A and B are shown apart, each in its own frame.
Chain A
Amino acid sequence: MSKIKALVVDDSKIMRSAVKRTLDQLMLADFEYVEAIDGEDALEKFSDEIQIVFLDWNMPRMTGVEFSKAVRQKGNTEHVPIIMITAEKSMGKVDTALNEGGANAYVTKPFTADQVASVLSRYIDKDGNIISENGEQSEKKSFFKDMLNFNKQ
């Protein structure tokens, strides 16, 4: 299993630690972490080596969605899954993150390991490698629909 380089973006050190601890405990892959304290910092640290992004929304200087838009505008970054991990819960925010921001998935805080595992299973194969995305838009819409249905329950 090769290491997956993950960018963990949150202005809270406690939350960055919680994300890393959860990912390590899940043992779905072997992660190597790059941490960023806000969107601007993340944009500086984003490189071709980054394979997956775990992203907060509300941060100083540059929000998570602004970062996500900027990354997608760079081009040739569609293969990098961006997982929003945020306290924002309204469906309007989810819609904005997934459809305007270019994020792939959405997890609300406080998250459980099972929730993270469920999302990651779509981006990491059983050997712990990043899955190359095909048909990303349809998958994204499917997830969004699932989430809408979940919230109606």
Chain B
Amino acid sequence: MSELIPIDLAGVREIPAEIITSVKQSVEVTFESISGSRPEYSENGSVDGPMNGIIGHITVFNSHHTLTLMVAIPRETALSISEVFCGMEIPFDSDDMGDLVGEVSNILAGEVAASVEQVGFTGQSSLPTVTRGSDLKLFMPNKPPTARLRFEGGGGGFWVNLALCESRRRK
């Protein structure tokens, strides 16, 4: 068990900085290897409006804690990623686009799992799920710790939202 995060998260208001840093680095490495250009973290990108796009959901978890990653990719960014990753633009409304964003989320979770292990959070990644739609608004859990990270890349911007919670309800 890691000493980085107490088992009981009742008194934890923020995701530990070490985990945030690991996730930021993982996002940069993953999207650079997928899209060919390294995205940059945007300090001022935490506030956003409704999105027309696609969201990959995946978790890195152990028996105590679950770190949820929500990769929110606007339509134009998703189209750009598909062109680089697949060698051709995939129709946004196709099953293949869902498949692609699921795989991107899976690759990111693998990188995050390896990275956060270095700072004391050992976990395994779940299978991804994907949601696509228009006028999407991401609601974070009411209770912290959560974080919303905005990145700007050559193919467009995107968000990675994080939520840390206990893996099972304590009695």
Contacts and interface: CB of A to CB of B under 8 A. Distances in A.
Contacts of B96: 13-14
A106 to B, nearest CB: 12
B102 A58 contact: no
A90 B34 contact: no
Contact of A14 (B30, B103, B114): B103
B86 interface: yes
Given A58-B106, A87-B110, A90-B117, A110 B33 contact: yes
Interface string A86-121: 111110100000000000000011100000000000
Interface bin, chain B: 20 to 34
A85 to B, nearest CB: 11
A60 B127 contact: yes
A107 B102 CA distance: 19
A131 interface: no
Contact of B110 (A15, A18, A60, A86): A86
A45 to B, nearest CB: 20
Interface string B97-133: 0011011001101110110010000000101000000
Contacts of A12: 99, 102-103, 106
A18 B30 CA distance: 17
Contact of B103 (A15, A21, A88, A108): A15
B106 A89 contact: no
Nearest to A112: B33
Contacts of A58: 106, 125, 127
For the residues of B in contact with A, the DSSP-based class is helix
B99 A14 contact: yes
Contacts of B100: 14
Interface bin, chain A: 20 to 34
A21 B87 contact: yes
Nearest to B113: A90
B102 to A, nearest CB: 7
Contacts of B86: 14, 17-18
Contacts of B109: 87
Contacts of A92: 117
A109 B29 CA distance: 12
Given A12-B103, A13-B96, A87 B127 contact: no
Given A12-B102, A14-B100, A18-B86, A110 B114 contact: no
Contacts of B107: 87, 109-110
A15 B117 CA distance: 26
Contacts of A108: 110
A63 B99 CA distance: 18
B125 A110 contact: no
Contact of A89 (B87, B99, B110): B110
Q: Which 4 A-B pairs have the closest CB atoms?
A: A87-B110, A89-B114, A90-B114, A87-B107
Interface of A: 11-15, 17-18, 21, 58-60, 86-90, 92, 108-110
Interface of B: 30, 33-34, 85-87, 96, 99-100, 102-103, 106-107, 109-111, 113-114, 117, 125, 127
